[in-house]
């Protein structure tokens, strides 16, 4: 992000309270995003820690986006798509399932707490399931605490 614009910036920093975990949710626009909308429509309340990034299909969510989010400091990542067989592109979520079945093993193997990465199938009609998924994910990520993978130790460049 190009920082030199901040001279002009009138940034009334509303510092988010540090211990509030921040989670990115990659939602496929056909099912999960619509399910989240339905949760809104039916006024289902759920914690505000999850911010949605809309993708064309859950298969577009490259597992390396998930790593990039964790590397840049997010506390948790959720990837959600259509139920198998209901994908608008018919096969997208099958590929998502395989990609992340492998990638999550890699994440765990190098030492990322499993509580940080979640996947779910939420269809366009499952508003309350979306609210439920968010509640569970936020609780689990909070149990893992804030992401300190790269912030604790100052990188030495001797």
Chain positions 20 to 59 lying near another protein, rule: CB under 8 A, are: 22, 24, 29-31, 33-34, 36-41, 43-48, 51-57, 59
Query: Which residues 51-110 are close enough to bind another protein by CB under 8 A?
Result: 51-57, 59-65, 67-69, 71-74, 82, 84-92, 94-95, 97-106, 108-110
Alpha-carbon torsion angle 12, 16, 18, 20, nearest 10: 180
Nearest to 146 by CA among 44, 43, 21, 51: 21
Q: Smallest distance, Å, CB 14 to another protein? A: 6
Q: Kindly state whether residue 124 participates in binding another protein, applying the rule CB under 8 A.
A: yes
Question: How many beta carbons lie within 10 A of that of residue 66, not counting itself?
Answer: 26
10 alpha-carbon distance from chain centroid: 29
Q: Smallest distance, Å, CB 65 to another protein? A: 6
Alpha-carbon span 118 to 41, nearest angstrom: 24
Identified binder of another protein from the candidate list 120, 138, 141, 142, rule CB under 8 A: 120
């Amino acid at each position: 992000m190009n920082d030199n614009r901040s001279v002009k910036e009138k940034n009334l920093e509303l510092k988010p309270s540090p211990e509030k975990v921040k989670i990115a949710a990659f939602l496929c626009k056909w099912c999960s995003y619509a399910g989240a909308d339905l949760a809104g429509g039916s006024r289902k309340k759920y914690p505000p820690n999850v911010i949605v990034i809309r993708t064309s299909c859950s298969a577009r969510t490259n597992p390396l986006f998930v790593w990039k989010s964790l590397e840049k400091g997010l506390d948790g990542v959720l990837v959600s798509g259509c139920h198998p067989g209901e994908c608008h592109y018919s096969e997208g979520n099958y590929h998502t399932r395989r990609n992340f079945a492998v990638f999550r093993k890699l994440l765990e193997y190098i030492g990322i707490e499993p509580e940080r990465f979640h996947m779910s199938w939420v269809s366009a009609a499952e508003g309350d399931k979306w609210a439920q998924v968010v509640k569970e994910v936020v609780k689990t990520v909070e149990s893992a605490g804030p992401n300190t993978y790269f912030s604790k130790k100052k990188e030495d460049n001797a």
